[in-house]
């Protein structure tokens, strides 16, 4: 069994542990002094939480399983309040810990519960989806949704560790796995072109957990995230590059009432950002075409409904990346080179949308 450890730096450094069959590493991430461990997991997937709970119990900890609704339905203030009550009934103290097991929505929620319980307790994330491993569980962003938008309420709360057991990816539905690839591909465009080359070498293999480049793709994307958040936890500068494609993506998710997979929305958002980059004179058509080609090759969408542009534009006004009244986009200046576009003219935004509208 080969185990990789990617260090995330900053004020509270931690390891992202990657490998197959690595649950035995979990007690080491929890560390000393912990007595009770609350395990937050999707209620429909007890079989995913069971081995995690078993590994924790075998190490001598007291385990409190806390099932929550699936996917984005978990990220509400009502569910969060229920977790607070459960943590109180379980007697979870400042020296205890929370473990989040599942996809990105579950780890977002578990992280926010840990950040706010007793003003902050230890959290270890055990992502079980591709999206969770390469993005959501790494970086310390936690939060819930409100009717006004996605992740508008949250905090920065770095985990004590992240455990990526690649064995769990085998049970991920293909559509969800492909959705997670969007964040991997994003990493290729903003920082590491080798990712794009690996996917172009074997697009079909990239869509499967057993693909010949799978582990390298995951490790490269995690390394990008680790480098960025280690240098800029609170999105004061460098971390903004991770928002590439997300301004429109979050608006699409609002229009879809979170029924569309996050990665599918990000894929469309990346094509929009590429078209916006081209129309702003920053890149040529070849890089836009490559964006479309790579996303299409793995089965991700590259266009969206024409008639909803007014709704999308309205939702973008409340995007959490905006500052004051000014909307901000992360755009490509070249492959692996990005910079912000602040307060773009309305006609430019509308023209870029026409390029992806269907």
Among residues 122, 220, 221, 239, which one is catalytic? 239
Among residues 157, 186, 220, 262, which one is catalytic? 262
Q: What is the pLDDT of residue 231?
A: 82
Residue 101 CB coordination number (10 Å)? 28
Among residues 41, 145, 221, 235, which one is catalytic? 235
Q: What is the pLDDT of residue 35?
A: 95
230 pLDDT band, cuts 50/70/90, is: confident
Domains contained in the chain, CATH given: 4-171 (3.40.50.1970), 176-211+237-356 (1.20.1090.10)
Q: 250 an active-site residue?
A: yes
Which residues, in sequence order, are CB contacts of 100 under 8 Å at separation 6+? 40, 41, 106, 107, 109, 110, 111, 123, 124, 125, 126, 127, 137
Give φ, ψ of 349 to 5 degrees: -65, -45
Q: Has 227 been labeled as part of a binding site?
A: no
Q: 243 an active-site residue?
A: yes
Say if residues 62 and 41 touch (Cβ distance below 8 Å). no
Give the pairing type, strands 14-19 and 4-8.
antiparallel
Q: 235 an active-site residue?
A: yes
DSSP 280: T
Q: 320 an active-site residue?
A: no
Q: Has 105 been labeled as part of a binding site?
A: yes
Q: 119 an active-site residue?
A: yes
| pLDDT top residue among 32 and 193 | 193
| pLDDT top residue among 358 and 109 | 109
Which residues, in sequence order, are CB contacts of 54 under 8 Å at separation 6+? none
Which ranges of 16-119 would DSSP assign to H, the alpha helix? 26-30, 46-58, 77-89, 104-116
Residue 63 CB coordination number (10 Å)? 18
Q: Has 73 been labeled as part of a binding site?
A: yes
Q: 239 an active-site residue?
A: yes
Q: Has 70 been labeled as part of a binding site?
A: yes
Say if residues 229 and 138 touch (Cβ distance below 8 Å). yes
Q: Has 107 been labeled as part of a binding site?
A: yes
Give φ, ψ of 161 to 5 degrees: 175, 160
Element (H, E) at 65: strand 62-68
Among residues 145, 186, 221, 243, which one is catalytic? 243
Average per-residue pLDDT in the chain? Answer: 93
Q: What is the pLDDT of residue 83?
A: 97
Strand, coil or helix: what is 59? Answer: coil
Which residues, in sequence order, are CB contacts of 259 under 8 Å at separation 6+? none
pLDDT over threshold 70, residue 228: yes
Say if residues 277 and 284 touch (Cβ distance below 8 Å). no
Picking from 183-192, 236-245, 292-301, which range would have the lowest pLDDT averaged per residue? Answer: 236-245
In terms of Cβ atoms closer than 10 Å to its own Cβ (0-12, 13-18, 19+), residue 326 is: exposed
CA 187 centroid distance within chain: 12
Among residues 157, 220, 221, 246, which one is catalytic? 246
Instruction: Please name which of 131, 122, 148, 124 lies closest in space to residue 186, comparing C-alpha atoms.
Output: 131
Q: What is the pLDDT of residue 321?
A: 57
Q: Has 262 been labeled as part of a binding site?
A: yes
Among residues 25, 41, 122, 141, which one is catalytic? 141
DSSP 132: I
Q: Has 183 been labeled as part of a binding site?
A: yes
pLDDT over threshold 60, residue 105: yes
Q: Has 28 been labeled as part of a binding site?
A: no
Picking from 39-53, 160-174, 223-237, 341-355, which range would have the lowest pLDDT averaged per residue? Answer: 223-237
Which tens digit of pLDDT belongs to each residue from 53-63? 999 999 999 99
Q: What is the pLDDT of residue 46?
A: 86
Q: Has 9 been labeled as part of a binding site?
A: no
Say if residues 4 and 208 touch (Cβ distance below 8 Å). no
Tell me the average pLDDT across 167-190.
Answer: 96
Q: Has 93 been labeled as part of a binding site?
A: no
**Could you give the strand order of the β-sheet that contains 4-8, starting from the edge strand earlier in sequence?**
4-8, 14-19, 161-165, 122-127, 97-102, 36-42, 62-68
């Amino acid at each position: 069994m080969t185990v990789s450890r990617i260090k995330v730096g900053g004020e509270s450094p931690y390891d992202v542990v990657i490998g197959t069959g690595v649950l035995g590493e979990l007690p080491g991430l929890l560390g000393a002094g912990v007595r009770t461990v609350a395990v937050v997991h999707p209620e429909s997937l007890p079989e995913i939480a069971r081995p995690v709970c078993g590994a924790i119990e075998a190490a001598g900890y007291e385990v409190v399983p806390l099932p929550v609704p699936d996917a984005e339905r978990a990220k509400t203030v009502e569910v969060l309040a229920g977790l607070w009550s459960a943590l109180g009934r379980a007697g979870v103290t400042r020296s205890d810990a929370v473990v989040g097991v599942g996809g990105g929505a579950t780890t977002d929620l578990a992280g926010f519960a840990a950040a706010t319980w007793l003003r902050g307790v230890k959290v270890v994330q055990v992502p079980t989806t591709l999206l969770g491993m390469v993005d959501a569980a790494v970086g310390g962003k936690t939060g819930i949704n409100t009717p006004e938008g996605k992740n508008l309420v949250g905090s920065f709360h770095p985990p004590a560790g992240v455990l990526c057991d690649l064995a769990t990816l085998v049970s991920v539905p293909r559509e969800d796995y492909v959705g997670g690839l969007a964040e991997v591909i994003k990493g290729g465009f903003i920082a590491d072109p080798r990712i794009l080359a690996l996917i172009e070498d074997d697009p079909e293999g990239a869509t499967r957990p057993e693909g010949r480049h799978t582990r390298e793709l995951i490790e490269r994307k995690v390394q990008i995230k680790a480098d960025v958040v280690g240098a800029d936890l609170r999105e004061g500068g460098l971390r903004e590059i991770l928002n590439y494609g997300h301004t429109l993506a979050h608006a699409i998710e609002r229009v879809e009432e979170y029924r569309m997979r996050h990665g599918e929305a990000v894929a469309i958002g990346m094509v929009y950002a590429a078209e916006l980059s081209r129309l702003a004179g920053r890149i040529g058509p070849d890089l836009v075409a490559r964006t479309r080609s790579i996303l299409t090759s793995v089965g991700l969408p590259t266009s969206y409904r024409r008639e909803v542009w007014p709704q999308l534009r309205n939702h973008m006004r409340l995007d959490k990346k905006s500052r004051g009244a000014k909307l901000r986009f992360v755009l490509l200046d070249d492959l692996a080179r990005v910079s912000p576009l602040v307060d773009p003219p309305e006609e430019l935004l509308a023209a870029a949308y026409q390029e992806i509208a269907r």
